[in-house]
Amino acid sequence: MKVSVLTAEQATHTLLQLLRDCVRFDVAVAWAGSNPVADAMLKMHPKLGKVVIGTHMYQTDPAVLRAFMPRKGARCLPPSGRLFHPKVYLFETAMNRTAVVGSHNLTAGAFGGKNIEVSTLLEGKAEDEALIDLKSFIESTWHSAEAIDEDTFLFAYETQYRINKAKRSALDKFYRLKKPRIGAKSSPMTLTWKEFVEGVKNDVHHSLEGRLAILERATTLFLEHRSLAVMSRFERKAIAGTYGEREPQLDDLEWPWFGTMFGQGDFKNLINESPKLLSAALDHIPAEGEILEEQFDGFAHDFSLAFQGKSHKGGVPTASRLLAMKRPDFFIGVNDANRTGICSAFGNAPTTLALENYWERIVIPMQNSPWWLCARPRAQLEGRIWDNRAALLDSIYYDPTAKRKSKKKL
């Protein structure tokens, strides 16, 4: 038997050639997606013997399963039980048998150059023991698999595939989360839900009920109006935190508690007179449900555009203030009073935080924290805290002396 190694590019070329030359092919793969090899298999379906496709972890594209469904030799394994993880391709001619075994799944990543792959090409006779064993393996898994049926499998799989799509995308990124800087408070990523609640309740600078009232009122404003631009000026100033010290405030709440932006002249003017650009930026962030990084990027891009031609540009304090008011479950307003505490606790120099890296340095580590990942409690007060948990992180890292130091530097 002849044995050789195939890299990603070589494997694609070799399998396409083997499909053309063979009289029959059998396959057992963990995952499948649209790619040149799968397309060639479908075009040459009269040669298709037994094909088994796994679906664990919802990595297999249901569109490919649907394409193979009319072929009686094609079966699938549901995404439950022991992980089905082989990558075996077996080809037969009149006299010979050839197998490709290795890391190549039947996916675009494997046969499109995205992945780093390696497989072994085994070329021999039909009576070679290793090739006989591979054929037996495919046949045994095929008999334990099930038909790709619309009613009994595909509908259910396709529905759950869509639900898990965002989770699969998240696995493509690796964020280098950091330990707290020397002298910082403990990292939020080590806090349990119980410790987080205790920290929020022990805020000596603001009342918990007052904080919750502000955040809950902001949430209702966005649910009622859906967009910042259609709110009244009085309501917009509440969301933006641009009230003056002696100015009456919406519902008599202390809106500056999550960062007063009264001194941000250009921002204040946009809020008062030209809110459409800031509103368009904030519209990228959904009022409910998951928030994707692409949606945040859209916000950041349009938020910066709103300040074109202005002497002062919008930054993290003003942007994160708006974000925290709209989605207090996902964002914390970062300002002079908490920047040092929160950035240091997440392992970053406070001076290096920018809107461009806010998602990676603040949102991602927060979403990897036990207290943020905790299921919503049934108790009423803790449920309210959970609904506003990201913004309430300010309660733990707020330091009014840091704000005074910042003003002295200016």
For the segment 20-35, the average pLDDT, to the nearest whole number, is: 97
- Final residue of a structural domain among 170, 202, 236: 170
202 and 337 co-located in one domain = yes
- 299, pLDDT greater than 60: yes
For the segment 4-20, the average pLDDT, to the nearest whole number, is: 94
96 and 204 co-located in one domain = no
CA 119, CA 117: separation in Å to the nearest integer? 7
CA 351, CA 356: separation in Å to the nearest integer? 13
Give the range among 67-71, 171-175, 254-258 with minimum mean pLDDT: 171-175
Residue 183 lies in a domain: no
24 and 163 co-located in one domain = yes
For the segment 124-135, the average pLDDT, to the nearest whole number, is: 96
Q: Is 27 helix (H, G, I), strand (E, B) or coil?
A: strand
6 and 143 co-located in one domain = yes
CA 91, CA 133: separation in Å to the nearest integer? 14
Query: What CATH number corresponds to the domain at position 147?
Result: 3.30.870.10
Per-residue model confidence as pLDDT tens digits over 168-187: 777 678 888 999 999 998 89
For the segment 264-274, the average pLDDT, to the nearest whole number, is: 93
For the segment 268-274, the average pLDDT, to the nearest whole number, is: 94
Q: What contacts 163, CB < 8 A, 6 or more positions away? A: none
Residue 361 lies in a domain: yes
Structure tokens given for 103: 């890391």
- 9, pLDDT greater than 90: no
146 and 288 co-located in one domain = no
108 and 219 co-located in one domain = no
236 and 295 co-located in one domain = yes
| pLDDT, mean over the chain | 94
Residue 403's pLDDT band, with cuts at 50, 70 and 90, is low
Residue 399's pLDDT band, with cuts at 50, 70 and 90, is very high
Q: What was the pLDDT predicted at 311? A: 85
Nearest Cα neighbor of 350 from 400, 324, 325, 316 is 316
Query: From the CA atom positions of the chain, what is the Rg in Å?
Result: 29
297 and 382 co-located in one domain = yes
Residue 71 lies in a domain: yes
Phi and psi angles of residue 90, each rounded to the nearest 5 degrees, phi first: -125, 130
92 and 158 co-located in one domain = yes
- Final residue of a structural domain among 170, 203, 236: 170
CA 61, CA 70: separation in Å to the nearest integer? 16
Task: Assign 3-class secondary structure to 230-248.
Answer: HCCHHHHHHHHCCCCCCCC
Domain of residue 77: give its range: 2-170
Task: Assign 3-class secondary structure to 319-372.
Answer: HHHHHHHHCCCCCCCCCCCCHHHHHHHCCCCHHHCCHHHHHHHHHHHHHCCHHH
* Number of domains observed in the structure of the chain: 2
Residue 12 lies in a domain: yes
- 114, pLDDT greater than 70: yes
Indicate the residue type of 329.
D
- 277, pLDDT greater than 60: yes
Q: Which residues pair with 3 in a beta bridge?
A: 122
Q: Are 181 and 107 in contact (CB under 8 A)?
A: no
Q: What contacts 382, CB < 8 A, 6 or more positions away? A: 197
Which of residues 226 and 235 earns the better pLDDT score?
235
Q: What was the pLDDT predicted at 408? A: 44
Residue 377's pLDDT band, with cuts at 50, 70 and 90, is very high
Residue 179 lies in a domain: no
300 and 254 co-located in one domain = yes
Q: What was the pLDDT predicted at 8? A: 75
For the segment 130-156, the average pLDDT, to the nearest whole number, is: 96
Q: What was the pLDDT predicted at 175? A: 85
Helix or strand run (H / E) with residue 124: strand 118-125
For the segment 394-401, the average pLDDT, to the nearest whole number, is: 93
Structure tokens given for 268: 């204040």
Residue 180 lies in a domain: no
Residue 312 lies in a domain: yes
Q: Are 97 and 125 in contact (CB under 8 A)?
A: yes
Pairing of strands 118-125, 96-102: antiparallel
Q: Are 48 and 125 in contact (CB under 8 A)?
A: no
In this structure, the number of other CB atoms found within 10 A of the CB of residue 266 comes to: 16
161 and 219 co-located in one domain = no
Per-residue model confidence as pLDDT tens digits over 311-367: 888 899 999 999 999 999 999 999 999 999 999 999 999 999 999 999 999 999 999
Residue 189's pLDDT band, with cuts at 50, 70 and 90, is very high
Nearest Cα neighbor of 345 from 191, 196, 181 is 181
Q: What share of the chain is helix, strand, coil (3-state, %, to 5)?
A: 55, 10, 35
Q: What was the pLDDT predicted at 405? A: 56
Q: What was the pLDDT predicted at 409? A: 45
160 and 200 co-located in one domain = no
For the segment 127-138, the average pLDDT, to the nearest whole number, is: 97
- 410, pLDDT greater than 60: no
Residue 182 lies in a domain: no
Any idea which residue has 């924290």 for tokens?
369
